[in-house]
Each structure stands twice: as structure tokens, then as C-alpha cells.
């Protein structure tokens, strides 16, 4: 009887973990979940096949819908910016790869915002059973059980999740924001700095503490050229771009 009870509890626990695991959103700092699936460019294992590039995985609800179409066209428009930052973009939805290919061909013929036709150079994953979307917590059940939410995972060169964003179906994403986030994260990694609200590439950045004492500043006023303070809690490092004025 005891053994039976133990087996029963073990099964319930295992089921619970499996179900909870299914819907877990990978958190910032965690290893990016790995999956293999068909894409518009053949079978790809994400994120591993993209080596030590940074990666961004975008999910969208459905092919051939207006907001999703505008999003893919804006992503295609930013391809060279992502390339410069060493970012490999990938897209996923629960539609199948045949539909993805038809949609891609259709989008590539459009003249969106008078930019002329543009080739889509990133792969679109199929995910008809939603299995891989679930790995990334991109199916938000109260909204839909079989259509992705608008999800964005930024993953670094070591396959660690560095940024997680979700947007509602009704609101198309500002794709330039993901260029900005990668720029900020890469600068932070390189220079151990943080970026203030509304920061854009080239703007001054925040340092965790003011690096000079008042005595050092008094002895060498030129040090102020590199760093400055706003109030007594915010310390900036001067960059080439915009200064935050006191
Ligand atoms: C759209 O992207 O336009 C869309 C997607 C799902 C439902 C409704 C609209």
C-alpha cells in the first residue's frame, strides 16, 4: 500500500513538473532552450546553429496578418543593423513552413513605406504543435492556446537569455528597440556601464559610482571631462553623443 502511494505521488509530481515546465518562460540569465525544427531555410537547431553570434527569436501570432506583416517588413529593413551587431534574427510561429514560404514570397514583393522590395534573410521556424513556442513561454493560454503572443528573446554569444519582452497581439513592436537593447547590452558587457532611460547609441552612460574623490577632482579638475554627477545618486560617464544636462 505504501509503495502504491509512493508511486502515485511520484507520478503526480512528475506530471506537475512536466506541465509547469511546458509553460515556463526562460528568465534573464538562464540558458536559452534548444530546439530543432524546419524553417524557410531548412532544418535549424536554435540557438546552437548560430554559433557565437547574438540571436533574437521573435514569435508572432499568424502569417498573412497585417500587423505581423508590418513587423516582418520592419525587421527586414533593419537586417544590416542586426548584422553589424553580430545578431542572427529568427522568427517562429505555429504556422507551417509551406505557409511561411508563401508569406515570405508575398512580403518580398511589397513596396512598404516606399522602400522598394526587400529580401528577407532570416529563417522563419514552423511550430505547428506549438511545442517549441511553449519552450519559450510564447503561448499565453488566456489569449490563445495555439497562437503565439508577440515574444522577443535576446540571447547572447554564450546562449544566455539577456532580455525578454512580450507584446499583445494588438500592438506591433518597435523593431528599433531591439537594436537599442543589443547595443546597450554589448556596451554594458564591454565597459561595465549601465544605460539610462531613453538611452540611444552614443549617449552618455551610467556608472555604478563616481570614480573620483572630491580631493582627486580638486587636484585634477580635468577628470571632470570624463565623468559627471547629477545630484548625489546618478553618475555619468561622458561618451561622444548627448550629455545629460544637470
Ligand atoms: C495581426 O498581426 O494583424 C493579427 C494577428 C492575429 C490576430 C489579429 C491580427
- The grid coordinates of residue 122 equal 532570416
pLDDT band at 15 (very low <50, low <70, confident <90, very high): very low
Question: Does ligand 1 have an atom closer than 6 angstroms to the CB of 149?
Answer: no
pLDDT band at 210 (very low <50, low <70, confident <90, very high): confident
| Ligand 1 pocket test target in 143, 169, 170, 172 with most atoms within 8 Å of CB | 169
87-93 and 54-59 beta bridge pairing:
parallel
| Cβ-Cβ contacts under 8 Å for 70 (sequence gap 6 or more) | 112, 172
Question: Does ligand 1 have an atom closer than 6 angstroms to the CB of 169?
Answer: yes
CA distance 27 to 162: 8
Please say if the pLDDT value at position 19 is more than 80: no
Please say if the pLDDT value at position 203 is more than 50: yes
Q: Measured from the CA of 172, which atom of ligand 1 is nearest?
A: 2
The pLDDT, as a whole number, for residue 16 is 34
pLDDT band at 212 (very low <50, low <70, confident <90, very high): confident
Q: How much distance in Å is there from the Cα of 227 to the middle of ligand 1?
A: 47
CA distance 205 to 192: 10
Q: How much distance in Å is there from the Cα of 189 to the middle of ligand 1?
A: 36
Active site residue 68: yes
Section 162-183 average pLDDT: 98
Nearest-CA residue for atom 4 of ligand 1: 65
Amino acid at each position: 500500500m505504501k509503495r502504491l502511494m509512493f508511486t502515485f505521488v511520484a507520478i503526480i509530481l512528475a506530471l506537475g513538473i512536466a506541465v509547469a515546465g511546458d509553460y515556463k518562460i526562460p528568465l534573464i540569465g538562464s540558458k536559452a532552450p534548444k530546439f530543432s525544427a524546419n524553417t524557410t531555410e531548412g532544418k535549424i537547431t536554435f540557438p546552437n546553429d548560430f554559433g557565437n553570434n547574438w540571436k533574437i527569436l521573435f514569435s508572432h501570432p499568424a502569417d498573412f496578418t497585417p500587423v505581423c506583416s508590418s513587423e516582418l517588413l520592419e525587421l527586414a529593413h533593419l537586417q544590416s543593423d542586426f548584422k553589424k551587431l553580430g545578431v542572427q534574427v529568427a522568427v517562429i510561429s505555429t504556422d507551417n513552413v509551406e505557409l511561411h514560404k508563401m508569406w515570405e514570397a508575398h512580403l518580398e514583393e511589397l513596396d512598404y513605406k516606399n522602400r522598394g522590395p526587400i529580401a528577407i534573410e532570416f529563417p522563419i521556424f514552423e511550430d505547428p504543435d506549438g511545442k517549441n513556442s511553449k519552450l519559450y513561454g510564447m503561448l499565453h493560454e488566456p489569449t490563445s492556446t495555439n497562437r503565439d503572443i508577440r515574444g522577443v528573446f535576446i540571447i547572447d554569444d554564450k546562449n544566455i537569455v539577456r532580455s525578454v519582452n512580450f507584446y499583445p497581439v494588438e500592438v506591433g513592436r518597435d523593431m528599433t528597440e531591439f537594436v537599442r537593447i543589443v547595443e546597450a547590452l554589448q556596451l554594458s558587457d564591454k565597459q561595465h556601464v549601465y544605460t539610462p532611460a531613453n538611452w540611444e547609441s552614443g549617449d552618455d552612460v551610467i556608472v555604478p559610482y563616481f570614480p573620483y574623490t572630491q580631493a582627486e577632482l580638486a587636484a585634477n579638475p580635468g577628470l571632470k571631462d570624463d565623468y559627471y554627477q547629477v545630484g548625489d545618486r546618478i553618475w555619468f560617464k561622458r561618451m561622444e553623443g548627448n550629455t545629460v544636462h544637470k
